[in-house]
């Protein structure tokens, strides 16, 4: 029996088929094992905030940082002092008032001068009293005056006036003197404002309060409460003077503590408000404001409260971002899926190799990055 060899082209077809199948298999293996998807998520930012309370104690046995009880110092002290302030207020002269004089009474009895009483300057310019005034015996009184003829030159500070309506013998004992230069109607002059009186009390009370902690560690935080016990000014609002004096007495109470421990406690309180599928990315922990709720001086314990806020975004462990939700989706569908959630502003996907347009089969080939 004669053996017949197959045609050579059959072997060629088998070889080509094998090569093609091998290439296809290589491409399939490469696709599944070497392709990656890189998902970039741009999250929406949400505010998270909370109040928190804590206590400061001087009693070592009472410490409990986990429950918000920390070591510190209780402050209680009364302070007083006086300070001269430069007048910064201004006012415009109204009506016909041009100045203010101090009337001296050298008599042994009170002297009454009615409104419109004439005052005569050395250069024979007449002024009149704006209101009735009674000068005590051997005393002095200040009063507003207006010009009899506003067109004439106005008197300067320290100008001495006689009172023509009094007898010549009395005029030497009862006379007036300009406190400041007289000003024309509508002219702006230096005068104490109520705002600067209030500010003087605020500023000086703060200055006095610092004396209560002048010997304390400056690296520690202090929260002080000030109570005004007494305040006395030597002038009142509206007075046309260049400066004024304030006598002040205050009571200072407060606490001194290490702010590091409190900030850690505050962050812990804030983090507890963040949902499991979110993450905290920032907070105002470095600018906390503390308020004293109450102080028990007998037991050396102070209750304080504060407020902390921060920004949170979707977390990497969120169910939304689990790779199994994206595997095998095409790029358009994957982006659409992500952007349907309120916590995601937008998303984009890139692939390796670049010609791939579908999410990998293997979940560990889906790399998700959240832009913070």
- Would you call 212 helix, strand, or coil by DSSP? helix
Q: What is the rounded CA–CA span in Å between residue 135 and residue 122?
A: 22
- Residue 138 covered by a domain: yes
Q: What is the pLDDT of residues 191-201, one digit of tens each?
A: 899 999 999 99
Of 88 and 92, the structure prediction assigns the larger pLDDT to: 88
- Residue 155 covered by a domain: yes
- Residue 18 covered by a domain: no
- Residue 4 covered by a domain: no
- Domain count for the chain, please give it: 1
Q: What is the rounded CA–CA span in Å between residue 265 and residue 260?
A: 9
Rounded mean pLDDT of 265-288? 96
Residue 286 has pLDDT above 60, yes or no: yes
Q: What is the pLDDT of residues 330-369, one digit of tens each?
A: 999 999 999 999 999 999 999 988 888 889 888 989 999 9
Q: Which residues are 51's β-sheet partners?
A: 307
- Residue 20 covered by a domain: no
Residue 276 has pLDDT above 70, yes or no: yes
Angle at CA of residue 352, ends 347 and 358, nearest 5°: 60
Q: What is the rounded CA–CA span in Å between residue 75 and residue 56?
A: 11
Only one residue has tokens 């190799």, namely: 353
Q: What is the rounded CA–CA span in Å between residue 112 and residue 174?
A: 11
pTM of this structure: 0.64
- Residue 290 covered by a domain: no
- Residue 311 covered by a domain: no
Q: How confident is the model at residue 4 (pLDDT cuts 50, 70, 90)?
A: low
Residue 183 domain boundaries: 91-189
- Would you call 217 helix, strand, or coil by DSSP? coil
Q: What is the rounded CA–CA span in Å between residue 291 and residue 294?
A: 9
Query: Cβ(227)–Cβ(203) under 8 Å?
Result: no
**What pLDDT score does 224 carry?**
94
Query: Cβ(266)–Cβ(306) under 8 Å?
Result: yes
Q: What is the rounded CA–CA span in Å between residue 296 and residue 286?
A: 28
**What pLDDT score does 294 carry?**
94
- Residue 19 covered by a domain: no
Mean pLDDT of the chain: 90
Q: Which residues are 369's β-sheet partners?
A: 40
Only one residue has tokens 């041009």, namely: 98
Which among 3-12, 110-119, 181-190 has the top mean pLDDT?
Answer: 110-119
- Would you call 124 helix, strand, or coil by DSSP? coil
For residue 134, give the CATH number of its domain. 2.40.30
Q: What is the pLDDT of residues 15-42, one digit of tens each?
A: 677 777 767 665 555 555 678 999 999 9
Q: What is the pLDDT of residues 27-82, one digit of tens each?
A: 555 555 678 999 999 999 999 999 999 999 999 888 999 999 999 999 999 999 99
């Amino acid at each position: 029996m004669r053996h017949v060899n197959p045609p050579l082209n059959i072997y060629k077809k088998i070889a080509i088929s094998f090569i093609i199948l091998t290439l296809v298999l290589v491409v399939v293996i490469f696709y599944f094992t070497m392709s990656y998807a890189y998902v970039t998520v741009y999250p929406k930012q949400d505010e998270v905030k909370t109040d928190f309370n804590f206590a400061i104690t001087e009693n070592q046995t009472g410490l409990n940082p986990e429950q918000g009880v920390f070591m510190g110092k209780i402050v209680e002290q009364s302070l007083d002092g006086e300070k001269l302030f430069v007048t910064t207020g201004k006012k415009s002269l109204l009506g016909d008032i041009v100045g203010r004089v101090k009337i001296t009474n050298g008599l042994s009895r009170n002297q009454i001068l009615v409104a419109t009483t004439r005052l005569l300057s050395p250069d024979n310019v007449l002024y009149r009293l704006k209101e009735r005034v009674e000068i005590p015996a051997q005393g002095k009184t200040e009063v507003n005056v207006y010009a009899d003829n506003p067109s004439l030159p106005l008197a300067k500070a320290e100008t001495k006036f006689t009172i023509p309506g009094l007898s010549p013998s009395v005029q030497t004992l009862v006379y007036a003197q300009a406190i400041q230069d007289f000003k024309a109607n509508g002219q702006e002059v230096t005068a104490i404002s109520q705002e600067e009186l209030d500010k003087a009390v605020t500023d000086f009370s703060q200055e006095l309060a610092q004396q209560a902690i002048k010997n304390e560690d400056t690296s520690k935080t202090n929260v002080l409460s000030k109570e005004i016990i007494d305040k006395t000014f030597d002038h009142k609002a509206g007075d046309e003077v260049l400066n004024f004096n304030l006598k002040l007495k205050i009571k200072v109470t407060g606490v001194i503590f290490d702010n590091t421990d409190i900030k850690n406690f505050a962050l812990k309180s804030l983090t507890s408000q963040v949902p499991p599928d979110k993450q905290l990315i920032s907070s105002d922990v470095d600018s906390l404001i503390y308020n004293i709720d109450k102080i028990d001086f007998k037991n050396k314990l102070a209750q304080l409260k504060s407020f902390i806020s921060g920004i949170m975004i979707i977390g990497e462990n969120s169910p939304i971002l689990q790779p199994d939700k994206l595997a095998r989706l095409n790029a358009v569908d994957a982006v659409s899926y992500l952007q349907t959630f309120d916590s995601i502003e937008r998303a984009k996907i890139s692939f390796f190799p670049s010609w791939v347009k579908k999410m990998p089969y293997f979940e560990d080939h889906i790399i998700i990055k959240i832009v913070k």
